[in-house]
Structure 1
C-alpha cells in the first residue's frame, strides 16, 4: 500500500484506521451500518431483560431459563425462513411485519400477568418474529462498495457489533435496577421500533432486490465447512448463554455488577478480534481459540467477586470474536455467494439452539447448585466445542481469495 500525497511512511495503524474511515465515507455505508446496529441493539439487552423479569416474577432461574430457551428456539426456527421470505415478499414488507410483531410480543411479556406457560408462548412469538436485519444488511453491503472492499467492510461491521454486547447489558441492568425490570423490557420495545423504523426507511434498503432462493432449504448444511461452523457455533454460544445466566445469578438479577462483568467479556472479545483477526488460519486455529474460551469458563467456577470473575470473563471473551471469525470465514470459503445467505442463517440457527439449551440447563443447575453450577455447564459445553473443532479440523475449506473473487465475478 503506497503513501498518501504529502505524507511519508505512515504507520500501519494509521493506514488501517484511514481505510476504515474511507469505507464509512462511501455513500450510504455509515447510515446503513448505524441504523442496523440500532435496530439490532435489543439483542444485547433482551436476554438479560427477560432473565431478570422472569426471575423476579417466579423467583426461579430455572423458570427464567425455560422462557429464554423458548425465545431462542423461536429465533432459531425463524432465521432461515424469514430470510427466504424477503426474496418472495420483499425486504421492507417482511421487516415491517416482523418488527411490529416482535415489539408487540415483547410488550406482552413485560406487562401481562401470566402463568409460566403464557410467558413461554409469547417469548416463543418474540423469537419467531425477530426481524431478519442481518441477512438484509449482508445483501445491501455489496451494493455500497466494490467487491474488493467487502471483506474490510464486513470486518468493520463485525467489530462495531461489539457495541451491542458492551452497552446492551449495561443499559438493561441499570434500567432494571434503578427503575424496574418491566421498564427495562419496555426500553427494548422502544428501541426495536425506533431502530427498525430507521433501518426500514433507509433508501439503500429500497434499492435492493433479494433474489428468491432456488435451492432446497437446508442443502447447504451438507458442506463440511458449514457443518463444522454450525456445530462449533452451537457449542460456543451455548457456553456463552450459560455464562450469562451464571454471572447474573452470582451478582443478583438487578445488580450493576453483572452488566459490568458481561461488558468486560464483550470488550475482551473486541480486543481479541482486533488482535488475532489478521493472523493466517490453519486447521488448528479454531481449536486454539475455543480453548481460550474454555479456560475462561473453568476459571469462573472457582473464583468469586466482581474483579476475579471479571478477569475470568476477560479470558473467556478474548477467544469469542476470533473463534466466530474463523467460523464465518469457513462459511464464506465453503459456499458460493448465492448460497452464503442461507448458510449464515443456519449458523445463526445453530447458535440460537445453543443459547436455548445452554441457558435452560444452566438455570436448573443454578437452582440446584448455586451460580457455580451455571459456570460448570459453560465449562463442559466449551470443552465439547474444543473437542469438536479438533476432531473435525480437516473439514476447514482451503479456498483462496482468488477463488472467492472468481465466484463474485461469475455471479455478477
Structure 2
C-alpha cells in the first residue's frame, strides 16, 4: 500500500483521479437507469437492451475519432463540446417518452458524443509520474474506478425505485456536467498537449498489443454487461438486492486491483486474470436463487476485473508512441463498448426468452473466450517485468549546424 500512498502524494495525481472519477461516475449509473426506465415504459428488457446497445455502438464509433481529435483541436475543446451534447441527449431520454426506435436514435447520439475522458486521462498519466510509478498508477486508477461501479448501481437503484427513473437519469446528467467541468478545468488537462499523429487513422490498431487489449477488453466488458443485466432481471426492478449484489461484485474488483494490480506484468498476466473472472462467473450460474450466494461468487469474479484492466492499459502504453496513445485508448474503449452493447443486447433477449440464467450463460461464455484469446496470444503479450511502461517518445529530426 505504500506504493499507492506515495503515488497519491505526487503533485496533481489525487486531484486528477478524483476529477475523472466524478466525471465518469454517471457511466456507472446510466446502464441501470436506462434499463429500468425503458423496461418501465415499454415492459421489455429486450427493448432496454436495444437502447443500451445503440448508445454503446455510438460510443464505439466515436471513441477513436474523438480521441484522435484531441491531438488536433486540443483536449479542452473536444471535451467541452462532447460534454454539452451528450448531457442534452441523455436528459432527453429521461424527460420525453418516445417510441423505441426514436429512443435508440437519441441514445446513439448520446454515445456518439460521449466525452473521451478515459483516453484523455490515460494520456495524461505518463506525464505526471516517473516510469516506475506508471504501472502502479494504472492499477490504482483501475481499482479506484470501481467506486463508480460500487456506488453507481446502489445510488441509481435507490433513486430509480424509490423516487423515479426520470429523476435518476436527470441526477446522472447533473453529475456528468459537474464532474466533466471539474476535470476539464484541471490544470493537467491544459498543461498536456497531445502531438498530432503522423500515422493514418486506425494504423495503431495493427500493433498486436493494442489489438489484444481491444479484443480482450471487448470480451471482458461484454461479460460484465451481461452480468449486470442478469442481476437486475434476477431480483426484479423493485428489489434493493440488485444494487447490493452489483456493489459487492465491484468491491471484489477494487480489492483485487489493490492486492495484485502492482504485480509485475508477464506474458501470461492477462490470461491469469481472465481465468479468475471466468471461474467466478461460471460458479455464479449455480447461485441465482440466493442473493448472498450470488454476491460471494461474483465477489470472486470481481477480483480479476480491475487487475485485468490495469494490464490492458499498461501494455497499450508501453507499445505505442505518445502521439498515438489517445487514439489507441480510444480503440480499446471502442472494443469495450461494443462488448457492452453485444453483452447487453444478447442478455436482454435471453432474459425475455429463458429468464435471468440466460444472461449469466452469456457472461460466462464471453469471459471464457477472453481467457482463451489471452492465453493463445501470450507470445505477443509484452513482458513488462523490469521494463518501463511509458509510451515510446515521439522523435523529430534534429537539424545539425555545420561547424
Q: Say yes or no: TM over 0.5.
A: yes
Confirm or deny: 8 A CA contact 1:52 1:254 kept in the other structure: no
- The correspondence of residues 311-330 of structure 1 with structure 2, limited to 5 A, is 311-330=296-315
1:9 — aligned with what?
none
| Residues 335-355 of structure 1, C-alpha deviations (whole Å, 9 max, x = no match) | 233322221111111011011
| Number of the residue aligned with 1:5 | none
State the partner residue of 2:204: 220
Cα deviation 1:94-152 (Å, max 9, x = unaligned): 11111111110011100111110011011101101101112222343344444544334
Say which is worse superposed, 330-339 or 303-312, in terms of deviation: 330-339
- For residues 18-66 of structure 1, give each alpha carbon's deviation from its aligned partner in whole angstroms, at most 9, with x where no partner exists: 413422xx1x333322222111110111111111111111111111111
After TM superposition, list the pairs within 5 Å mapping 1:60-99 onto structure 2. Answer: 60-99=44-83
Report deviation, 1:380: 1.4
Shift of 1:402: 4.8
Distance 1:133 1:405 in 2: 19
Unaligned 5+ residue runs, structure 1? 1-12
Q: Which runs of 5+ in 2 are unaligned?
A: 397-403
Q: For residues 316-371 of structure 1, what are the alpha-carbon distances to aligned partners after superposition, in whole Å with 9 as ceiling and x for unaligned?
A: 11111122222222222322333222211111110110110011001000001111
1:373 aligned residue (345, 352, 358) = 358
Q: In the alignment, which residue of structure 1 is the partner of 2:30?
A: 46
Matches of residues 274-289 of structure 1 in structure 2 within 5 Å?
A: 274-289=258-273
Q: How does 1:142-161 map to 2 (within 5 A)?
A: 142-161=126-145
Aligned ranges for residues 332-351 of structure 1 at < 5 Å? 332-351=317-336
For 2:132 and 2:332, locate their aligned partners in 1 and report how far apart those are by CA, in whole Å.
24
Asked if structure 1 preserves the Cα contact closer than 8 Å seen for 2:149 and 2:247, the reply is yes
- For residues 220 and 231 of structure 2, the distance between their equivalents in structure 1, rounded to whole angstroms, comes to 17
Q: How has the CA–CA distance of structure 1 residues 101 and 254 changed in structure 2, closer, same or farther, with 3 Å as cutoff?
A: farther
8 Å CA contact retained: 1:62, 1:367? yes
Shift of 1:268: 0.2
More moved, 213-222 vs 369-378 = 213-222
Distance of 1:91 and 1:171 partners within structure 2:
30
Q: 1:278 to 1:138 in 2, by over 3 A?
A: closer
After the TM superposition, list the runs of 4 or more consecutive aligned residues in structure 1 that deviate by more than 4 angstroms. Answer: 399-406, 408-411
Q: CA deviation at 1:408?
A: 4.5
5 Å matches for 1:7-406?
13=1, 15-23=2-10, 26=11, 28-303=12-287, 304-398=289-383, 401-402=386-387
Instruction: Report the 3-state secondary structure (helix = DSSP H, G, I; strand = E; otherwise coil) of the residue aligned with 1:255.
Output: coil
CA distance in 2, matches of 1:105, 1:73: 15
| TM-score normalised by L of structure 1 | 0.90
C-alpha contact (below 8 Å) 1:147/1:408 kept by paired residues: no
1:6 counterpart residue number:
none
Partners in 2 of 1:269 and 1:80 — Cα distance? 26
Partner of 1:394: helix, strand, or coil? coil
Aligned length, in residue pairs: 396
1:155-185 CA-partner distances (Å, limit 9, x unpaired): 3322221111111111100100110111110
TM-score normalised by structure 2 residue count? 0.92
Structure ranking higher in helix proportion: 1
Alpha-carbon distance between aligned partners in 1 of 2:327 and 2:374, rounded to the nearest angstrom = 22
Change (3 A) 1:209 1:287: closer
130-139 or 232-241: bigger deviation: 130-139
